[in-house]
Amino acid sequence: MNKAEIKKAFQEHFSQDDPLIVLAPGRVNLIGEHTDYNDGFVLPMAIDAKILLAGSLRTDKQVHLYSLDYQEENIFNLDDFTVTKEQAWSNYIRGVCAMFLKTTPLSGMNIVLQGDIPQGAGLSSSAALEVGTALLIRNLHKLNTSPIELIKLAQQAENDFVGVKCGIMDQFISMLGSKDHVLFLDCRSLEYELVPAPFRHHNASIIVVDSGIKRGLVDSEYNLRRNQCEQAVIQLKQHLPHITSLRDIGIEHLHLVNSLETDLCKRARHVITENKRVQDAVEYLKTDSIKQFGKLMNESHVSLRDDYQVSCRELDLIVELAQSVPGTYGARMTGAGFGGSTVSLVADSSIEQFKAKILEIYAKQTKYTPKIYIYHPSQGARQI
Ligand code: GLA
């Protein structure tokens, strides 16, 4: 759907002209998984799949939502609303309203929304909805909330309203992604650098394969992994009293994790080595060494599979198939895991072979149908 189409849909649904329209993209994380909530480093890119929201202010306190994808309406009153079980998609919007309302009075709104980010595929459709909503509310109410504040508010909506203790990566990249760039983010200081993506001039592309396994973050082991990392920090303080998160442990102290019980040891080892891989990956991008970059993607997958234990048979199979194609530089699971998608860096001349292999073998060996997408590094959220 484009601007004109969502505008028309808004006019048809609310019999009102001239809505304000915003766009927020999904994301794929190239490397740096489960590091954000450990104050570590990540390297995502915004993708050319997005959510569009068209909205206008009302004179009362009601919020009227219409989802074109679900063909569903959801209405709530800003003076009194909670999480809803029906039309759970509306919770992301409700959550962002709730976070604004802590400091800022809001007017009611009419909103129509539509998206083409595959849902439950680990491509952050929910973060895009939160970020898009935050930007829409900001612009409709003519607030001067900064992008970083909007990002934090969107993350809080997910943490405190929806109930998923996610890190800040997804909201950050959806807001601040840039065309033809990947974003290197320090999740502690929130300092970031947009690094030019060298893939195109190497005639290579980023391919996402959706495994077809939807595993909502809410009922996943995500929060358990987070707790295990916190436990590991508490215990490692015996050796390194100054640390406050796994981010503070460099590769030179990796041996210390051996004192932890097996699960905690593995979780900590993943985070410590993954932080190093992200930093190395950025250097490789800057020096145009995409072969080495791809190798780090492969190593990241092994670490997520064996140490962090958030992969699954199907994701492992896609990664194996991807890596067996001669033109593949690297492949790994991406996002929270337990289903969702993989990301691969593949020479353009091998894309057809890559697709054919995955489509044929994955469908044969599992009960799922994979979906394959080629995404380009894209611009972050904005009014259009
Ligand atoms: C989800 C979360 C992110 C991040 C990733 C794993 O996408 O929303 O904050 O933790 O999982 O890297």
What are the structural domain ranges in the chain? 3-196, 200-375
Residue given tokens 């709104």 in the structure block: 109
Fold classified for 200-375: Alpha-Beta Plaits (3.30.70)
Asked if the 3-196 domain carries CATH number 2.130.10.10, the reply is no
- For the Cβ of 167 lying below 6 angstroms from any atom of ligand 1, the answer is yes
- For the Cβ of 34 lying below 6 angstroms from any atom of ligand 1, the answer is yes
- For the Cβ of 44 lying below 6 angstroms from any atom of ligand 1, the answer is no
Integer Cα distance of 44 and 376 in angstroms: 12
- For the Cβ of 204 lying below 6 angstroms from any atom of ligand 1, the answer is no
Residue 170 bears catalytic tag? yes
Tell me how far the alpha carbon of residue 169 lies from the centroid of ligand 1, in angstroms. Answer: 7
Q: What is the dihedral of CA 253, 255, 259, 260, to 10 degrees?
A: 80
- Please report, in tens digits, the pLDDT of each residue of the chain (384 residues total): 999 999 999 999 999 999 999 999 999 999 999 999 999 999 999 999 999 999 999 999 999 999 999 999 999 999 999 999 999 999 999 999 999 999 999 999 999 999 999 998 999 999 999 999 999 999 999 999 999 999 999 999 999 999 888 999 999 999 999 999 999 999 999 999 999 999 999 999 999 999 999 865 545 688 899 999 999 999 999 999 999 999 999 999 999 999 999 999 999 999 999 999 999 999 999 999 999 999 999 999 999 999 999 999 999 999 999 999 999 999 999 999 989 999 999 999 999 999 999 999 998 999 999 999 999 999 999 999
Tell me how far the alpha carbon of residue 130 lies from the centroid of ligand 1, in angstroms. Answer: 15
- For the Cβ of 37 lying below 6 angstroms from any atom of ligand 1, the answer is yes
Integer Cα distance of 375 and 306 in angstroms: 28
Q: Which of 36, 170, 210, 307 is catalytic?
A: 170
Q: Which two tokens stand for residue 274?
A: 């993954």
Helix (H) or strand (E) holding 184: strand 181-186
Tell me how far the alpha carbon of residue 32 lies from the centroid of ligand 1, in angstroms. Answer: 10
Integer Cα distance of 382 and 115 in angstroms: 15
Tell me how far the alpha carbon of residue 171 lies from the centroid of ligand 1, in angstroms. Answer: 10
- Closest atom of ligand 1 to 168 CA is 9
Domains 3-196 and 200-375 share a fold: no
This model's pTM is above 0.75: yes
- The answer to whether 158 and 129 are in contact (CB under 8 A) is no
Q: Which two tokens stand for residue 107?
A: 């007017």
